[in-house]
Amino acid sequence: MDSIGAFFAMSGYAAYIWPAFAVTLGLMAGLAFWTRRRLKASERLLAALEAEAAAAEGGADRTDGSEAQA
């Protein structure tokens, strides 16, 4: 029990050591997850725009055909 306490106390330097590790690793994790979220959002956006573009082109073809018949 005492050695775990001693480990966390880091001979009195705990107030400096633990924030250093925590902030570094925390920010790294944060950036990684934020970037991944941005990637997922961009994939959804792109899928929606591509579907819209495909639908628009499909509609344009039909319009040309019917105009020619009319």
Subset of residues 29 to 68 that bind other proteins, contact rule: CB under 8 A: 31-32, 35-36, 38-39, 42-43, 45-46, 49-50, 52-53, 56
Tokens of 7: 């480990």
27 touches other proteins by CB under 8 A: yes
Q: Does the protein bind other proteins through residue 10 (CB under 8 A)?
A: yes
Task: Decide if residue 25 touches other proteins (CB under 8 A).
Answer: yes
Closest CA to 24 of 12, 36, 32: 32
Binding site for other proteins (CB under 8 A): 7, 10-13, 16-17, 19-21, 23-25, 27-28, 31-32, 35-36, 38-39, 42-43, 45-46, 49-50, 52-53, 56
